[in-house]
Amino acid sequence: MPRNEEHQLQIKPTFKEASRQRFVLALKQDIGRRLRPQLKQFVPSDLIESDDPELIDDFFQKLIPRKIWGRLARSAQEMMWEAVTDPLVREEERLISFYNGCINQSDSGGSIKLDEGLSFPEGISDVNVHLQPGGYFLNRHQSDVLAGALYEAGGTIYSQGQSIKANESKAELAIRFLLDKMPDFKPQKILDIACSAGASSTPYARLFPDATVYAIDIAPGLLRYAHARAEALGVNVHFYQCDAESIEFKDASFDLVVSHNAMHEMSPLTIEKMMLESYRLLNAEGIALHQDVPLRNSQLDAYQQADYLWDYKYNNEPFWETYSNLDILSLMKKSGFSDARYDRVKQLGGSMDWDLYWSLR
168: confidence class by pLDDT, cuts 50, 70, 90 = confident
Q: Is residue 66 part of a domain?
A: no
H or E stretch at 342: strand 341-346
Rounded to a whole number of angstroms, the distance between the first and last alpha carbons of the chain is 29
Instruction: Using alpha carbons, list the distances in angstroms from residue 49 to 52, 53, 55.
Output: 8, 10, 11
Element (H, E) at 280: helix 268-281
User: Based on the structure, what is the number of domains in the chain?
Assistant: 1
pLDDT at position 4 is 59
Q: Residue 89 domain-assigned?
A: no
pLDDT greater than 90 at residue 2: no
Q: Is residue 37 part of a domain?
A: no
pLDDT of res. 106:
75
- Rounded Cα gap, residues 213 and 5, in angstroms: 19
pLDDT at 87 over 80: yes
pLDDT attached to residue 164: 53
Q: Answer for the pair 224, 148: CB distance below 8 angstroms, yes or no.
A: yes
Residue 166's pLDDT band (boundaries 50, 70, 90)?
low
What is the percentage of the chain residues whose pLDDT exceeds 90? 87
pLDDT at 289 over 90: yes
Residue 40 lies in a domain: no
Residue 234 has pLDDT above 50, yes or no: yes
Task: Residue 309: give the domain boundaries.
Answer: 168-360
Q: Which of 202, 260, 225, 235 is nearest to 11 (CA)?
A: 225
> Model confidence over 99-129: pLDDT tens digits?
999 987 777 789 999 998 998 877 678 889 9
230 found inside a domain: yes
29 in a domain, yes or no?
no
Going by pLDDT thresholds of 50, 70 and 90, the confidence category of residue 1 is very low
Secondary structure (3-state) at 39: helix
Handedness of CA 57, 62, 67, 69 (dihedral sign): negative
- The model carries a pTM of 0.94
- Residues in contact with 146: Cβ distance below 8 Å, sequence separation at least 6, in sequence order: 88, 89, 92, 95, 134, 138, 140, 221, 225
Burial string for 10-43 (b: 16+ CB within 10 Å, else e) reads: bbebeeebeebbeebbebbeebbeeebeebeeeb
Model pLDDT, residue 343: 98
- Residue 292, strand partner residues: 355
Residue 103 lies in a domain: no
pLDDT digits (tens, 9 = 90+) for 29-86: 999 999 999 999 999 999 999 899 999 999 999 999 999 999 999 999 999 999 999 9
Q: What is the CATH number of the domain that holds 248?
A: 3.40.50.150
Long-range contacts of range 51-57, CB-CB < 8 Å, 24 or more positions apart? 51/301, 51/302, 52/302, 53/297, 53/302, 53/303, 53/305, 53/306, 53/309, 54/306, 56/302, 56/303, 56/305, 56/306, 57/306, 57/309
Sign for the pseudo-dihedral over CA of 7, 293, 257, 285: positive
**Portion of the chain with pLDDT greater than 70, in percent:** 97
Q: How do residues 170-196 score in pLDDT, each as one tens digit?
A: 999 999 999 999 999 999 999 999 999
Categorize the per-residue pLDDT at 5 as very low, low, confident or very high, splitting at 50, 70 and 90: confident
CA distance 262 to 319: 11
- Quote the Cα angle for 53-54-55, to 5°: 90
pLDDT band at 162 (very low <50, low <70, confident <90, very high): low
Quick: pLDDT tens for 245-263: 999 999 999 999 999 999 9
In a domain, 46, yes or no: no
- Give the separation between CA 42 and CA 288, rounded to whole angstroms: 44
